[in-house]
Amino acid sequence: MAEMTLFEKILAGEIPGDMVYEDEHCAAFRDINPAAPVHVLLVPRKPIPRLADASGDDAGLLGHLLLVAPKIAAAEGFGDAFRLVVNNGADAGQSVFHLHLHIIAGRPLKWPPG
């Protein structure tokens, strides 16, 4: 059996996480190294390594994540101004290979991102 990812361990409670949301398909917890006053990671329970590894079977799950993210931003007080980021691949800044959406809010967000 494949070794659990860091985020699977957090979702399973094996590693502590500051959880802000949970349902049967996904969970969200605060980033340990926040890039903004609000920095939450939204993670599907299914350990898809990268967005590019998702398949058509995951369409409903991916849509679910996009519907949950604004609710988390709103619950954090920033429903009108938040950013979602998915880093895909090490060269794009991905360091944990379990798909996750960064939900970032609470400060002015520049464009383009660095």
Q: Which residues are catalytic?
A: 100
DSSP per-residue letters across 10-73 = HHTTSS---EEEE-SSEEEEE-SS-SSSEEEEEEESS--SSGGG--GGGHHHHHHHHHHHHHHH
Considering the complex, state which of residue 27 and residue 68 has its C-beta at the smaller distance from ligand AMP. 27
Task: Tell me: does residue 91 bind ligand AMP (CB under 6 A).
Answer: no
Of these, 8, 21, 31, 51, which contacts ligand AMP (CB under 6 A)?
31
In angstroms, what is the minimal distance from the CB of 88 to ligand AMP? 9
CA-based radius of gyration for the chain? 14
The answer to whether 18 and 29 have CB atoms below 8 angstroms apart is yes
Alpha-carbon separation of residue 2 from 33, 84, 100, 109 (angstroms): 27, 29, 19, 37
Give the pair of three-digit tokens for residue 75.
């619950």
Stretch that binds ligand AMP, among 28-36, 48-56, 59-67, 74-82 (CB under 6 A): 28-36
- Give the per-residue contact string, 43-82, with ligand AMP (x = CB under 6 A; - = no): ----------------------------------------
When asked if residue 88 is in the footprint of ligand AMP (CB under 6 A), the reply is no
Contact residues toward ligand AMP (CB under 6 A) are 6, 15, 17, 31-33, 41, 87, 93-96
